[in-house]
Structure 1
Amino acid sequence: MATARDESGELGSRDKVLVAATTMFAENPGRRLSVRAVAARAGVSTGSLRHHFPTQRALLDAVLTLIYDRVIPTDRIHDTSVPARDRLVDCLRQVLSMAGVGEQARQSMRTAYERFILPEPTEDLRAAYLSMEHEVLRRIEYWLTTLAQEGALHEGDNARRARFLMTVVDGLGLERALPADDAILRHETDTLYLAVDSVLRPIDRS
């Protein structure tokens, strides 16, 4: 994480806020990042936090962007020595890996259920979910745009393709949390390739 420091070597207030908010999110992904709590954790005033992040949505967007940029690197998609379909499957698998497997996957699903499904859908709750969804879609669209520039994609709406691929990944994440047989990883890989092949340009086998 690139951070800005003042002449004394201290982190700037914006980076203090991001470090605090990211740490709090990592400790409990279901926690609502309140301005007051994040400011207190960062050791800055709420006014200073609001200066950098005028809304709670802006703060959450910044935190999620930072998390996805660190956890899901984009270098793999640029490795043209590897077939496009393999690169895209690997990238989608990176998103899926965030759900974990076994007990970790079940805990992820419990957290999602308790955080976003069980409560009434307030505006704050909707904004928090849409922020996370936006970051996943943003990353998948970036991968698709990169492949389109290589000519590996048909012309079309990458936003719709990204949503389709995210829906597939969401379903696989749920499957990871459910009782499954020993072949789940093979089935998962088959499903990812089937989804990827549906959006990539067909290979010329002539």
Structure 2
Amino acid sequence: MSGREELIQAALRRARDEGFGALSVRGVAREAGVGATTLRHYFPSQAALHHAVATALVTTVLDDLAIEDDTADPATRLYDCLDQFLPDRAAATESWFDLYCTALAPDAAPSLRNVLHGAHAASATAVRRWLSILAAQGHLAGQDIDDQVAYVLAMINGMQLGMVVEPDRHDLSRDRRLLRWYTRKLLPA
């Protein structure tokens, strides 16, 4: 593991143990057992550190699954990939809620919003990759990809917000039916 990767892992541990608000340069350096100068070598700003942590959070959770398997139904492949955005466990929802509350709080450090930006950008990259693979296989028009990325992320963000705002009334099976409907409309058999 490179020095950069070790620092990201230390930051992920700190975020998991103490919340996203604890992602200071000094705190992460202390967690990693290095000096702040060493951390700044890899991440020249706190914003760069936050962005790297958010990207790592998303990329370690999302998998390409069987998206490239052109022998399988494209709508099912896309559904399986998108379903990864819907947590089954309360801990995942609480972590997401903690991230949003911390980053959007009135007294939040402005650079902490980079955690949200990084998570969104990494999510968009994953969805764009999945849709590009399907387009290259002839299942989707290439010019629709950017619009579809925006649409699907807005839909998933809304689902995730519903999980946080009304956890007792939230219906995860309804969200999955909506994702299934979306993938079937986008990629009819």
- Give the TM-score of the pair, scaled to structure 2: 0.83
Equivalent in the alignment of 1:195: 182
* Residue 120 (structure 2) aligns with: 133
Partner Cα separation in structure 2 for residue 45 and residue 109 of structure 1: 29
Larger radius of gyration: 1
Number of equivalenced pairs: 187
Report the alpha carbon displacement of residue 106 of structure 1 after superposing the two structures with TM.
6.0
What CA deviation, in whole Å up to 9, does each residue of 1:27-66 have, x standing for no partner?
Answer: 2443241111111111111111111122223223332333
Which fold has the larger relative contact order, with Cα–Cα distance below 8 Å and residues 6 or more apart in sequence? 2
The 3-state SS of whatever aligns with 2:70 is coil
Instruction: Say whether 1:62 aligns with 2:62.
Output: no
SS at match of 1:25: helix
* Match for residue 7 of structure 2 among 17, 34, 41: 17
2:184 maps to amino acid: D
1:112 to partner: Cα distance: 4.4
Paired letter, 2:138: G
Q: Secondary structure at the match of 1:78?
A: coil
2:69 maps to what in 1?
79
Residues in 2 aligned to 1:17 and 1:148: alpha-carbon distance in whole angstroms: 36
**How many Å separate the matches in 1 of 2:155 and 2:27?**
35
CA distance in 2, matches of 1:51, 1:65: 19
Q: 1:167 aligns with which of 150, 154, 157?
A: 154
Q: How far apart are the structure 1 equivalents of 2:109 and 2:12?
A: 23
Kindly, what percent of the aligned residue pairs are identical? 28
Structure 1 vs Structure 2 CA RMSD: 2.5
CA separation of 1:111/1:140 partners in 2, compared to 1, >3 Å: closer, same or farther?
same
* One-letter amino acid matched to 2:65: D
- Partner of 1:107, secondary structure, is helix
Distance 2:146 2:82 in 1: 15
TM-aligned CA deviation for residue 107 of structure 1: 3.0
Rounded to whole Å, the distance in 1 between the matches of 2:18 and 2:131 is: 31
Equivalent position SS for 2:55: helix
Are the counterparts in 2 of residues 165 and 196 from structure 1 also a CA contact under 8 Å? no
1:82 CA drift (Å)? 2.0
Compared CA separation, residues 154 and 65, structure 1 to 2 (3 A): same
Higher mean C-alpha deviation, range 121-130 or range 71-80: 121-130
Letter in 2 for 1:51: H
Counterpart amino acid of residue 135 in structure 2: A
Contact map agreement 1:30 1:115 (CA 8 A) in 2: yes
Write 1 or 2 for the structure with the bigger share of helix: 2
1:116 aligned to which of 103, 106, 109: 103
Is 1:180 the equivalent of 2:169? Answer: yes
Structure 2 unaligned spans of 5+: none
Contact 1:21–1:63 (CA under 8 A) maintained in structure 2: yes
Report the Cα offset of residue 105 of structure 1.
6.4
Task: Give the direction of change, closer, same or farther, for the CA distance of 1:57–1:146 in structure 2 (3 Å limit).
Answer: farther
